[in-house]
Structure 1
Amino acid sequence: MSDITLRAPTDDDWPAILALAQLSLSELPNSLSQDEWLNNRRSFSPSDGIQRHFVAISDERIVGYACVEHRNKNIDGRETLDGVYRLFVVVAPSARHTLATRLLAKLRECLIDLAARRAWVVEYEADAGFLAYLKEMGFVKLKSFKLEDGNPMVEMTIDAPFQSLV
């Protein structure tokens, strides 16, 4: 992989981001539909909460995606906790360790800038490789649960100061 640049995504980038996510999800049984995944990523508005997205570009194509998200209210209408942010990192499985590390470092900068106290991720239990990688980066398992479709999930968390995300 040649030089990597990071920038904010544009509306034209979403098909490539979705294709990359689908590539990552294709390794897993019963993963989210494309529309569901894309709608979840695009569902934030400035009034809804903080959202910082990045795409990683190499040779003029998108090779990674990462974001920090915070909603003002949960789906059930309750207020969310201040200083707690959800992270997403999507890279092709072959680039997981090199590119994911770079994207997590960028997200770390955002978390520090936002004075975050905690970050969390939700990942498919079947993606054991990525879960092991997150554990190496300092995330700890918070809980396991199943989606409505029966897919087992793992929620992992990491507390500030996020030194290991570099």
Structure 2
Amino acid sequence: MTITYRSVKGSNLTATEVDDNFHDLDDRMTELEDNPPEPVNISNITVVGTQMTIYLEDATVFGPFTLPQANFRPSVVATVATNTHAPVLADANGYKRCTHVDGCTVTVPLNAAVAFPVDTELTYRQAADEPVIFDTLTDGPTLNGIAGFLDMSGGRGATVTLKKVATDEWDIIGLLAEDVTA
């Protein structure tokens, strides 16, 4: 059956023509419901780096799509056996165990000296009796510690993370030594 269009006919449709149109559409819908078409299935998915492409059986290609990914936080554990440490780019997102008997002073560099990306983390563990002290050179970056606490680890086993939050600004997170002089 063919659908009758008012614009083609040039006049209003009769009640029978309207009913025939609805009947035709209902028959077509019933046919689709009873005999759905075969889907075009995925034949292959490729991923190269963060790019995913989907291939269908009829050679249709979708993508590439950029896949979301978490920030890479390598589980690199290293030991700092000296009483000073100047972080370098290779230290980014790493974990350092400070073992020197006199503790360790970590000097956080300016962005101009070592351009760590914002969101970089540097984690230090006090693995000896003396603390890990976080310091900067004159006119160095801003270290955002915690009010009432010193910018140093709070005892053997304490772990402290420096998180870069702006070009020359780092937040200090972790177990810090309480400032008993305040």
Using the size of structure 1 for normalisation, the TM-score is 0.32
User: Which structure carries more relative contact order (alpha carbon 8 Å, separation 6+)?
Assistant: 1
Structure with the higher strand share, 1 or 2 = 2
Higher helix share: 1
User: Which has the higher Rg, Structure 1 or Structure 2?
Assistant: 2
